[in-house]
Structure 1
């Protein structure tokens, strides 16, 4: 019997507005998606960069999740956004950059979602649009508000086909693409980058801009994405 794949999932930290209690957490869809795919999820709470290295050594693959916006200072800009004024978390940014660096060093596959994909682009030298329009839906996470077109030579094509619908919960998006990345899916209306991968690397990497963890109970194709990440990435 083969050893189950252990997937490290980066956590977030916020204060519960009702109780004032500080909590570390991940969206349950990440845990459920990995478990359904046969993997073992391990939540990686925000910690020091030294601990980040230890975490990566404990897991087989890494998922970076969504959450706070990324401070524009990390890509050499001032904060110009109007809707995202100070929803930044420097400790998380630095911790997850350390996670990425160690995973790349160790050659461990990486899957990133929304903020995680933006952070990978920034960590590799790219930049972000700070406040785009028409990509934050007011409806629940299972509502499919956007279209995407997928490159035929990408791993997403076998899962989603050339055209599919996705959800959308982001104010920031990739602007200048890091030189090591290539685009494999876009929004056909405004060109927003919806998925990326490495051009040439021995480390498997896939990054998406939407939130598949919110769709696994409604769209079987999004569970297939987790199946791919756990078993084939």
Structure 2
């Protein structure tokens, strides 16, 4: 499905949401289904029309994605360790209902061969969806992720460089063999899912990006938050451009 605005066809990209209870002064407390504006704006700036997807039941994923040209899975809470066969050991603020729905979206996107851009929690979910595991708390052993402070003029979060595999089909095609990224996460990929490969790492070994080993499914999966870095708009541009090139359904 595509939408038509000003006589130009634009891909329709679905973005999942998180559910929070927020204080909307002066009206009180409200439950809200939303995603951070940065995800939406970056995707729109790349030329896509964005529709946000409130949480639903997993069985409806096929019908929900029937109108999508691509899917963005955003950051958020930790992934419930029961989905990768572990007991809690450092995971915080998990929500199995949200995980089940988002995992269903990922599986349905794969079934339909819909391009997916998975970010932070989305990256972790994509790995779990296909049989991978996570480090539940990267501050603990054996990881102890310590990326260091941001440099002057950079985003107000810890930043570090990453190394990208020279034969990476997706991340490497956009960023080359090195890039600077931010670090705003509590968990990370441990065992990479079968059928995927690690294509970017931090100096301390944190898995920063994975991608399918073979096939034509476009799964752009990163641990950092590119939506918070102006120079990483190019990832969204590249992703939406690849979506545009695909045959229209």
Residue 100 in structure 1 maps to residue 106 in structure 2 = yes
Instruction: Quote the residue 2:55 is aligned against.
Output: 46
The answer (yes or no) to whether the contact 1:136–1:171 under 8 Å persists in 2 is no
* Higher CA-based Rg: 2
For 2:15 and 2:202, the matched residues in 1 are separated by 27
- The runs of 5 or more residues in structure 2 that have no matched partner are 1-6, 140-144, 244-249
SS of the residue 1:38 aligns to: coil
Out of 200, 203, 207, the position equivalent to 2:214 is: 200
How far did 1:52 drift? 2.1
Residue ranges of structure 1 left out of the alignment (5+ in a row): none
Greater Cα shift, 133-142 or 115-124? 133-142
How far is the alpha carbon of 1:68 from its aligned partner?
0.5
When the two structures are aligned, how many residues end up with a matched partner? 225
1:63 to partner: Cα distance: 0.6
Structure 1 vs Structure 2 CA RMSD: 2.0
Decide which moves more: 200-209 or 149-158. 149-158
Write the distance in 2 (CA, Å) between the matches of 1:11 and 1:173: 20
Call closer, same or farther: CA 1:25–1:141 in 2, change over 3 Å: farther
Q: What does residue 70 of structure 1 align with?
A: 79
Aligned to 1:36: 45
TM norm structure 1 = 0.90
State the secondary structure of the residue aligned to 1:5: strand
User: What's the counterpart of residue 196 of structure 2?
Assistant: 181
Distance 1:124 1:141 in 2: 32
- Map 1:157-176; keep pairs closer than 5 Å: 157-176=172-191
Per the alignment, do residues 93 and 141 of structure 1 end up closer, same or farther by CA in structure 2, a change over 3 Å counting? Answer: farther
Q: TM-score, normalised by structure 2?
A: 0.84
Tell me, what secondary structure is at the counterpart of 2:47?
coil
8 A Cα contact 2:123 2:222, kept in partner: yes
Richer in strand (by share) = 2
**Cα distance in 1, alignment partners of residues 15 and 155 from structure 2:** 20
Kept in 2: contact 1:67–1:115 (CA 8 A): yes
Runs (4+) off by over 6 Å: 136-140
